[in-house]
Structure 1
Amino acid sequence: MHASITIFFCDLGSPTKLENLTDQQSGGDIENPGDGFISVPQVKNIQEAKLIHLQAIQLAKLICDEIGKLDNSTAALKVSAPLKTAVMYGNCEVAEEILSISSKSIYVRDKSDHTIFHLSIANRRENIFNLIHQYGEVGYNFLNMVENEGNCGLHLAGCLGSHVKLNLRATAAGAALQMQRELLWFKEVEKITLAHDRERKNNNGKTPKMLFTETHEDLVKEGEKWMKDTSTSCTIVAALIVTVVFAAAITVPGGNKGDGLPNFSKETGFRVFAISDALALFSSSSSLIMFLSILTSRYAEEDFLYALPKRLIIGLVTLFLSMIFMMTAFGAALFLVFGDKNAWILTAVVALACVPVILFASLQFPLLLDMIKSTYGPGIFGKKSDRMLY
């Protein structure tokens, strides 16, 4: 049974023969879905993946139920290898099921004397790490234990996350978001680490903070380079918009009368032009200031947590708004001069003005969304279940 459990957890994502568990599913099967279901390849693949996942969890529960009938010591020995595998691959459901049927399985350690919480930190598995809150003080004690090299949980949080996990963060923002995530991990583990362990030195004489600075040096440089390159490009765009809209404000469409008032001052289109031009100037100036502040930042480690992402978010949002207002002002000016109150010209101008705005949004929105979710999102840490495991 031990061998079969190990094989199952090592390849949990692709069990091959689970036909006997399909009778617990409802609402139609894969080949003959229920009424109202549109059978397209993408939806079918999603349903198949979901079914396999549910079957795998059911099989894990059945196996755990059988192991739970053994005495505690024997059960802990049986689930040792599967538990470590589940932790390393971030399978929270299976890990929680194992921990629930064997209270002694929390004492499982690998060859380097890592506890399961040490492994979750080293592999950056936040869903496994969150289980520590379901153990209370007991879980925190396991976190503060030291492994063979004298590292406690905070030391492991200070080490750079594995390349596999970091590659999953290789989004539009790349190194900057990776650095932010690493800081979030370090801060979260630090919260539940005892005060004297925060300054504990490992066998190499390094504290967790020293280890974090040393192992993240290259990532900080990469994040700084990405931030500066992005800010430089956006600064150029913001400066061009400032120049254009400022020039448009002093050379209004249609010219001026002898007393200095614009010829179209009483037209609705002119009011739209004036308001849009002013908003474009204000928003582009704000964007320019934010990007300049990024370029002149000190780029300390802590800045990647909130300061730099916030500035970049504000800069991108105001830059996007300035583009919208600039195109609105341009459309209003074009309609005033050449429209001659023809509706089709207004329609054409609006349609064409939307093109650069849509292009900018489609290209920059993924980056902006990643930054907002990472900075202002609900976070990846915290108690996820009320099921006490100890």
Structure 2
Amino acid sequence: MMRRNDGCTILHAAVIGKCYSLAIGISESYPDLAGKRNEKGKTALHLLAAKPESFRSGSAYTLRGLGMKSLIPLLILRTIIYCCIPVLYKESQPVNSAEEPSNSASIHKLSRRSSFANYILGFPWLKEIDDARQSHAVAVMLAEKLIRREDWSHYVHTEFKVLEGSQFGISSEKKNRMPDPLIQATRLGIIEVVQEILSVYPEAAYTFDGKGRNILQIAVEEEKWFLYDYLMTSGTNMDRMLSAIDHEGNSIIHLAAHQESPPSTPPGVLEMMWEVLWFKRVQYDSYPYLWHLQNSDGKTAKQVFETNHASLREKAEETVRALANTVLIVSVLIATINFAAIFTVPGGFDQTTGEAIFLKNRRWEFSLLMFYLAGGLFSSLFTMGTLLVIIFLRFETEDFYVSLPCYYVINIISIFYSAVLAIVACCQALIVQKVVITDFRPLVVLFFIYGLMALVLMETSYVIFDYAYHLIRYCLCYRGQES
């Protein structure tokens, strides 16, 4: 079989060009090519495991990818459409014996979709989603075939030497002699490839990279949240993987202390929150004796975290105080407007009784107006109080874990309601004065305002609410480890 100057075969070239259907056909016609390596020692599986964008886990069509781009409601809609589109490809079963590999399993399209479905999915925006759906499915099929034909004896080494009485009490594994596609897929967070490899060859979970780190440690170092969740629940020997120490004496908690934020996290206070949450989560999943274990530099995981995040914490403090000052000005303005509106009611007061004129003949509409104004005033004052706490707070690392996110969420909700109630009070004042007719049209305007404000809230505050969700989830699911 002909090769390029760099040792790549036609199967390598098909994977590099993302022609995955062609690559499947080539691998079926020439099965031996799956194990051929280029001059860098990489098979076609290595090249495929280096393309996270070819799989759904590396695309924007997952709910975990929300926040990576703007227009979050649109991203949610795209993800829902992606999930509803059926896969047009499936693997056909071999029709002849194993002695005829050219007739072995291959992929083919399912029965055609209806003309109406093809017409709808023919629009450019929907066609992009459909193409991604089919491309991801074919990439997974190709990965399954290449994984089953890979010789995993090159990556898994069962011989090891136990370092009796060593400083860290761990096993010294041989270094991998060749690039490991499992290690590569783990670093890039390609869950589909990792799942398939572990299902075909479970022993591959105990491979190590050049620094003596297993796949769980690599997932922690790279902050692959969902891959970490999968590995923790996959049934592999978590005791061994959690307690492993790398060649530099780092435990899994030391690796969690490295600063490696997800790309969807904005820099500043939110980044610091996610960093603290990740560190705490891995720490509580680990054995207590690892909390105070020192690495080869003589530092505990807590000390490594404080050193690596010192500048980020200072930046986060500056960001949160500047943001609090800005929101404080807005809340003061809203509170001033509501306070003034309460004592300058529309229609004026009766000179004899001192009661509001509209309180007599339009009592219900007037009461609603006062309720909206009072609610907006209360929300604004509540926001001001919590913001003052944040401004005068003396920040510690622990504050970014629970207390500051709670203040953050409370302020977002309260300023949202104060703004909405101020707008609704304005509409209600027009109704009280009969500037607008009390029919369904004000309700339409009201719901439109609520919907618009909700979209703005989702767009600007999704990341912090996502943080709150993960914080509550991990707190409820926390089991801990016995010492």
- 1:329 alignment counterpart: 425
Residue 182 (1) aligns with residue 281 (2) = no
Q: Secondary structure at the match of 1:113?
A: coil
1:225 pairs with one of 318, 325, 328: 318
Quote how far apart the aligned CAs of 1:370 are.
Answer: 2.0
Identify the residue that residue 49 of structure 1 maps to in structure 2: 132
1:146-165 equivalent positions in 2, closer than 5 A? 146-161=245-260, 165=261
CA distance in 1: counterparts of 2:178 and 2:192, whole angstroms: 14
Q: Does 1:73 align with 2:153?
A: yes
Q: Counterpart of 1:245?
A: 338
**Residues 202-217 of structure 1 correspond to what in structure 2 (within 5 A)?**
202-217=295-310
Q: Supply the AA of the counterpart residue of 2:285.
A: I
Equivalent residue in structure 2 for 1:142, among 220, 234, 241 = 241
Say if 2:151 is the partner of 1:59. Answer: no
For 1:100, give the aligned amino acid: S
Q: Offset at 1:246?
A: 1.4
Give the SS at the match of 1:109.
Answer: coil
Unaligned 5+ residue runs, structure 2?
A: 1-34, 38-42, 56-88, 92-105, 157-175, 476-483
Distance in 2 (alpha carbons) for counterparts of 1:38 and 1:132? 36
SS in 2 for 1:59: helix
- The partner residue of 1:288 within 384, 394, 406 is 384
Does residue 324 of structure 2 align to residue 236 of structure 1? no
Identical-residue share of aligned pairs (%): 24
Query: Taking structure 1 as reference, are residues 10 and 354 closer, same or farther at Cα in structure 2, changes over 3 Å only?
Result: closer
CA deviation map 1:204-248 (0-9, x unaligned): 111000111111112212222222222211111111121121122
How many Å apart are 1:143 and its aligned residue? 2.6
1:276 aligns with 2:372: yes
State whether residues 12 and 56 of structure 1, in contact with CA within 8 Å, keep that contact through their aligned partners in structure 2. no
Matched residues in 2 for 1:291 and 1:179: separation? 19
> Could you tell me how far apart the structure 1 residues matched to 2:262 and 2:154 are?
37
Are 1:121 and 2:220 counterparts? yes
How much does 1:110 deviate? 1.6
Q: Greater share of helix residues, 1 or 2?
A: 1
Corresponding residue for residue 461 of structure 2: 368
Distance across 1 between alignment mates of 2:112 and 2:400: 49
1:28 counterpart residue number: 112
Aligned CA distance change for structure 1 residues 264 and 27 (closer, same or farther; 3 Å): farther
Structure-to-structure mapping, 1:301-312, within 5 angstroms: 301-312=397-408
Indicate conservation of the 8 Å contact 2:121/2:130, yes or no: no
Q: How high is the TM-score relative to the length of structure 2?
A: 0.67
Q: Tell me if the contact between 1:6 and 1:81 (Cα under 8 Å) persists in the aligned partners.
A: yes
Q: What is the CA distance between 1:27 and its match in structure 2?
A: 5.6
In 1: Cα distance, 2:313 partner to 2:335 partner: 32
Cα deviations across residues 22-43 of structure 1 (Å, max 9, x unaligned)? Answer: 845536379x884674321121
Task: Letter of the 1:4 partner, please give it.
Answer: A
Alignment of 1:369-384 (within 5 A): 369-377=462-470
TM-score for the superposition, normalised by structure 1: 0.82
Amino acid of the structure 1 residue aligned with 2:144: K
Q: CA deviation at 1:104?
A: 3.1
Provide, for residues 142-180 of structure 1, a one-character-per-residue CA deviation record: whole Å limited to 9, x for no partner: 23222122111110001111xxx443312xxx3222222
Shift of 1:365: 3.1
Deviates more, 1:20-29 or 1:148-157: 20-29
Structure 1 residues 338-390: Cα deviation after superposition (integer angstroms, max 9, x where no partner)? 63xx5299958985x889877755544323222112112587879xxxxxxxx
Pairs within 5 Å for 1:342-353: 343=437, 351=445
1:199 corresponding residue in structure 2: 292
> 8 Å contact 2:208–2:214 — kept in the other structure?
yes
**Relative to structure 1, is the Cα distance of residues 236 and 44 closer, same or farther in structure 2, using a 3 angstrom cutoff?**
same
Q: Which residue of 1 aligns with 2:164?
A: none
CA distance in 1, matches of 2:381, 2:190: 48
Distance of 1:122 and 1:344 partners within structure 2: 60
Q: Does the CA contact (< 8 Å) of 2:334 and 2:422 recur in 1?
A: yes
- Distance (whole Å) between structure 1 residues aligned to residue 444 and residue 461 of structure 2: 25
Contact 1:180 1:304 in 2 (8 A): yes
Task: Return the offset for 1:269.
Answer: 2.8
Shift, 1:135, TM fit = 5.6
State how many pairs are aligned.
Answer: 366
Q: CA RMSD in A?
A: 3.3
Q: Distance in 1 between matches of 2:437 and 2:370?
A: 21
Asked if structure 1 preserves the Cα contact closer than 8 Å seen for 2:420 and 2:450, the reply is: yes
Taking structure 1 as reference, are residues 63 and 313 closer, same or farther at Cα in structure 2, changes over 3 Å only? Answer: same
Per-residue deviation, 1:66: 2.8
The Cα offsets for residues 224-275 of structure 1, whole Å up to 9 and x where unpaired, read as 2222222211111111121121122222222211221111112133222212
Separation of aligned partners in 2, 1:26 and 1:46: 18
CA distances 1:98-136 after superposition (whole Å, capped 9, x unpaired): 123223322322222221112111111123322432465
Q: Determine the structure 2 residue equivalent to 1:6.
A: 46
Which of 97, 106, 112 is the aligned partner of 2:211?
112
Distance change in 2, residues 1:47/1:27 (3 Å): farther
- Greater relative contact order (Cα 8 A, min sep 6): structure 1 or 2? 1
The alpha-carbon distance between structure 1 residues 130 and 275, as it changes in their structure 2 partners (threshold 3 A), is closer
Given residue 137 of structure 2, which amino acid in structure 1 is its aligned partner?
L
Q: Distance in 1 between matches of 2:229 and 2:471?
A: 14
Give the partner amino acid of 2:138: Q
Cα distance, 1:12 vs structure 2: 5.5
